[in-house]
Structure 1
Amino acid sequence: MTRSLRTCLFGLIFSTASLLPAANPLPRSTPEAQGVSSSALLAFIEAADKQVDTMHSFMLVRHGHVVAEGWWKPEAADKLHVMHSLSKSFTSTAVGLAVAEGKLSIDDPVLKFFPDDAPAEPSAFLKAMRVRDLLTMSTGHEKNANFVPSEPWVKTFLNQPVPFKPGTHFLYNSPATHMLSAIVGKVTGQTLADYLKPRLFEPLGIEKFAWGSSPQGNTEGGWGLEVTTEDIAKFGQLYLQKGQWNGKQLVPAAWIEQATSKQVSNGSDPEKDWDQGYGFQFWRCRHDAYRGDGAHGQFCVVLPEQDAVIAITANTRDMQAELNIVWDKLLPAFQKESLPDDAASQAKLKEKLANLSVPENHVPVTIKLPGRK
């Protein structure tokens, strides 16, 4: 779908500051000054370039400083990139802010917000569904609601059968995240995107972004956000700092603790990053990390033990392989203390990062988004 068509159909939001340089950039540093080996970073980039089909960008933040960043041409530092389901973690943040402002509780029943869209005789399980169940992907559904442009999305969701008791059955559910967006819209009188602008985007210096909306005017929520790689890194750094930014508490620390902790089980394979538990629109990872992620390799990985954030965009079919390279190559690169300066390795790393490009024979992987033609 072209951007012009999507704008027409879905009310795409695009900030007016799109020609401005990045605001409030993160500070930069050499890797060694922050206890990261340049040679190990080079090994990661070389492995990712060869083994991931196809990387688009990478940024590593350690101790609050960007120590490595690169874009595979034609991607670029100022280019917006679609987040797919990484959008969900931003939506979760909006819910947390609305909760902190007393506009809702995560224990509110979902039907409370949409009395006019509910079925004539809602089932007991639908009545029992809470905001918490939307956040944890445990709504009780057996399959996702099918959003189409011609039907109201909230009504479609509420008319989807709920065969399981909410809170007992994990099902990855993008329409459920859209319901969170619709709830934020109900209780604030603003779209989720507009609600987040002064509370999250502007304080972080995210001055350009795009986010589509439903035919009814609600921000998509579960998908569709477009930001830059550094914006992903800033978002991760905010969470690493327990919601503090430039001396201000933007997001309550208690919410961040809840959102990034295991709230529900979603598997038991110790070798899979998708089996480590799910929070409030955040995934738990191996190595005591957590992440927001989106289809085809969009990652915001937060590593509290290493005081690090990893931002990646890509277009790949194998997201686990992408994370495996992170664990195999990047984890050993972190040291507790600063390292001796390594000018030779830094020069090699800089040259490699400056000359990355998407392979000419790459066939882009696409995804059918809910409610889009």
Structure 2
Amino acid sequence: MQSTINWHKVKPESIYMNNEKLSKLEQTIKSEYNNINGIVIIRNGHLAYEKYFNGKGPGDCHHVASVTKSVLSALIGIAIDKGYIKSVEEKVIDFFPNYISNADKQKQQITIRHLLTMTVPYPYEDWQEPLDVLCQQQDWIKYTLDIMGKSGDLGAFKYSTAGAHLLSAILTRSTGKSARAFANEHLFSPLGMKEIPDYRMDAYGFDDLFGKKVKGWVHDPNGNSTGGWGLTLTTRDMARFGYLYLNNGVWGNNEVLLESWIWESTELNDNNYGYLWWLRQEDGFFTYAAIGDGGNMICCIPKMSMVVAITSEFMMNPRDRWLLIKEHIIPAVID
């Protein structure tokens, strides 16, 4: 494959894609997925398809919501590679000695790996995490550490955005830099992306944290970059990040991310969830995806050497992007 993405559009047939089927994508998106703002398809390291909607273009940044989690996963891998963090087996409470004095046995056992795989107990029903309560706190870290390890069994899957925020705090305590600053230096810059600016936040209302005011990378009241959402990227940025994984962590002549970390992060398991990546085995091929609310997605399909990046305007219950990929993009691949 290409060592970086060739952004000059090539004839789809030259990269084994059916131009006729790809040409029908635009109408399908307009009629069935009308909150999609941008879509980029990379095949064999070449730009196969790129379209924008709703007045957006290649330079527009979008709040990618929980896609942020998968970016944070990469940052943890880079921090381990560079020696800032010893391993995924390090205990979470060891990073916060000023917060925890008398942790119970279960809390003492929670590791970075548990946070990455969403297998930490919390006192709420699965998929009913009270993010509004988290965002009302003056200290998000203390709140999350207090509820971590309660009401459940360590090792059982329970999705947690607050847990991802702890990973951001661990990264900062290990490197001395916010996730935003660390990413700019060790991930975004090597991929040729623009620097994510320091977004000054004076308020923490819904629009500031989740809505139309989100810029750069949101942070909590104490300056920790939000671990579970809050990052803004262009559609091309998302494609670059996905291609880095597809290309085994190499960009140009640089190993940005260890190949072993990518394999470890995307290894199929019973939860269909790796290190902050969603995993899928279907119809004879394997995919892994970064998925964010509203219909944001980076889908990597190793067997087809393909990345699909989709940015979207937020809406409740958007149509599943996987259906678009499965029914309209994968069939355009020529075996």
Q: Mark yes or no: TM-score above 0.5.
A: yes
Q: What SS is found at the alignment partner of 1:190?
A: coil
What letter is aligned with 2:152?
A: F
Q: 1:235 aligns with which of 238, 241, 262?
A: 241
The share of aligned pairs that are identical, in percent, is 27
Give the distance between the partners of 1:171 and 1:133, measured in 2 at CA: 10
Structure 1 residue corresponding to 2:89, chosen from 99, 107, 111: 107
**C-alpha deviations, 1:84-140, integer Å up to 9, x for none?**
00011110001001111222211111000001112x432221111110010001111
Q: Judge conservation of contact 1:24–1:204 (CA < 8 Å) in 2.
A: no
CA contact (8 A) 1:55 1:313 kept: yes
Q: Which runs of 5+ in 2 are unaligned?
A: 197-215
The offset of 1:58, in angstroms, is: 0.7
Secondary structure of the 1:238 match is helix
* TM-score of the pair, normalised by structure 2: 0.85
* Structure 2 partner of 1:326: 325
Residues 224-278 of structure 1, C-alpha deviations (whole Å, 9 max, x = no match): 1001000000001100001001021110000001111235x33xxxxxxxxxx00
Match of 1:289 in 2: 287
Identify unmatched segments of 5+ residues in structure 1: 1-22, 267-276, 337-373
8 Å CA contact 2:35–2:312 kept in 1: the answer is yes
Distance 2:274 2:333 in 1: 26
Tell me if the contact between 1:142 and 1:171 (Cα under 8 Å) persists in the aligned partners.
Answer: no
1:149 to partner: Cα distance: 4.5
Residue 211 of structure 2 aligns with which residue? none
Aligned residue number for residue 197 of structure 1: 184
Shift of 1:308: 0.6
Q: Distance in 2 between matches of 1:80 and 1:325?
A: 22
| Residue type at the aligned position of 1:296 | G
Q: Which consecutive segments of 4 or more residues in structure 1 shift more than 4 A?
A: none
Match of 1:250 in 2: 256
What is residue 297 of structure 2 aligned with on the other side? 299
Alignment of 1:134-173 (within 5 A): 134-143=115-124, 144=129, 146-160=133-147, 162-167=150-155, 169-173=156-160
Q: Whose Rg is larger?
A: 1
State how far apart, in whole Å, the 2-side matches of 1:41 and 1:176 are.
Answer: 39
Provide TM-score, normalisation by structure 1.
Answer: 0.77
8 Å contact from structure 2 (residues 62, 233) kept in 1 = yes
Report the Cα offset of residue 151 of structure 1: 2.2
**1:258 corresponds to which letter in structure 2?**
E
Distance 1:260 1:156 in 2: 30
Distance 2:75 2:324 in 1: 31
Decide whether the 8 Å contact of 1:125 with 1:140 is kept in 2: no
User: Does structure 2 retain, via aligned residues, the 8 Å contact 1:24–1:205?
Assistant: no
Structure 1 letter corresponding to 2:326: W
1:123 aligns with 2:104: yes
Residue 67 in structure 1 maps to residue 48 in structure 2: yes
Counterpart code for 1:307:
S
The Cα shift of 1:296 comes to 0.7
Alpha-carbon distance in 1 for matches of 2:88, 2:160: 17
Structure 1 CA distance, aligned partners of 2:38 and 2:26?
Answer: 10
CA distance in 1, matches of 2:137, 2:96: 19
1:113 partner letter = F
Q: In structure 1, what residue type is equivalent to 2:139?
A: P
* Separation (CA, whole Å) in 2 of partners of 1:99 and 1:329: 39
- 1: distance between equivalents of 2:118 and 2:108? 16
CA distance in 1, matches of 2:158, 2:123: 7
Residue 82 of structure 2 is aligned to residue 82 of structure 1: no
Q: C-alpha root-mean-square deviation of aligned residues, in Å?
A: 1.8
**Greater Cα shift, 170-179 or 98-107:** 98-107
Determine helix, strand or coil for the equivalent of 1:84: coil
SS of equivalent residue, structure 2 residue 298:
strand
Bigger shift: residues 191-200 or 308-317: 308-317
Q: Distance in 2 between matches of 1:130 and 1:189?
A: 20
Secondary structure of residue in 2 paired with 1:222:
coil
Q: State how far apart, in whole Å, the 1-side matches of 2:195 and 2:177 are.
A: 19
1:132 aligns with 2:113: yes
Report the secondary structure of 1:206's partner residue.
Answer: coil
Distance 2:26 2:322 in 1: 13
C-alpha distance in structure 1 between counterparts of 2:251 and 2:44, whole Å: 14
